[in-house]
Amino acid sequence: MSTLPSWLLVPGLAGTAGRVVLPQEAAHHLARVCRARAGDHVTATDGAGTVADLELESVTAVVAARVVALGRLARPSQAWVLCGAPEGTRGDWLVEKLAELGVARFQPLDCDRAVWRGARLDRWSKLAAAALGQSRQAWLMEVAAPATIERALAAVPPGASCWLASAGGKSLAAPPKAPAMSVVAVGPASGFGAGEIQALEARGFTSIRLARSRLRTETAALAWAGIWAARTASEA
């Protein structure tokens, strides 16, 4: 049983047998932030579905642990968020919140009217890793490099349930069902161009209205993720 509140991200965890030396960042977190001691238990994950119960053996500059139990979780249904650039530096908060809510992939969109000038992939990956531990999840959110809609759509698997956040869309009387994969596209602060909307609609994206009010880019993305997360909470 874990005696520490957050989960630890330990890449390569699935291949370990019996004993694991924790990566430096996790070791630092345990020793300095959690003030962990030998004998404490912690839940670890590789961010790819493996979850382990670890018992800390030594907590010094190096932290070693015994693998008490190790299991593999089936991948739950996934959400992808394809998102144009918001105003200012709102990307950081957005990434943290989407990761907390369990989104599988964050795909920044470079659009006709706005590109991501503030894309900080290294920082965002760290935020996603921190959110994974904080929110106790076994699947790390992937942070993709900015791409055009055309390239982003090419990666969307067939059969995905696809939604376009739009003030002019039909209202979402029921939340999106949770098939194996749900995808939302959210325009940049200046909105999608006409050609981009055509491309999304041609790919089967359905326009939905997320609120009575006009939402900012990052708010629309978060609101959709909140609806998706509530819908999938019943799977667990």
Quote the CA–CA distance of 34 and 186 in Å, as a whole number.
38
Beta strand segments in 138-180, E: 142-143, 161-171
46 is a site residue for its own copies (CB under 8 A): no
Residues in CB range of 216: below 8 A, 6 or more apart: 86, 87, 90, 189
Coil, helix or strand for 122?
helix
Q: Which of 134, 148, 206, 207 binds its own copies (CB under 8 A)?
A: 134
Q: Which of 111, 151, 105 is nearest to 125 (CA)?
A: 105
Residues that contact its own copies, how many (by CB under 8 A):
38
Answer whether 110's CB lies under 8 Å from 146's CB. yes
Residues 87-126 close enough to bind its own copies by CB under 8 A: 93, 97, 100-102
Nearer to its own copies, 16 or 137 (CB): 137
Q: Locate tokens 């965002």: which residue?
A: 124
204 is a site residue for its own copies (CB under 8 A): no
27 is a site residue for its own copies (CB under 8 A): no
DSSP one-letter string for 13-54: GGG--SEEEPPHHHHHIIIIIS---TT-EEEEE-SBSEEEEE
| Beta carbon of residue 205, minimum distance to its own copies (angstroms, whole number) | 17
223 is a site residue for its own copies (CB under 8 A): yes
Q: Point out which span in 9-17, 120-128, 135-143, 198-206 binds its own copies (CB under 8 A).
A: 135-143
137 is a site residue for its own copies (CB under 8 A): yes
Q: Which of 172, 204, 206, 207 binds its own copies (CB under 8 A)?
A: 172
72 is a site residue for its own copies (CB under 8 A): no
| Beta carbon of residue 200, minimum distance to its own copies (angstroms, whole number) | 19
Alpha helix (H) residue ranges in 49-168: 91-101, 121-135, 149-155
Residues lying near its own copies in the complex (CB under 8 A): 76, 93, 97, 100-102, 134-137, 171-175, 209-216, 219, 222-227, 229-236
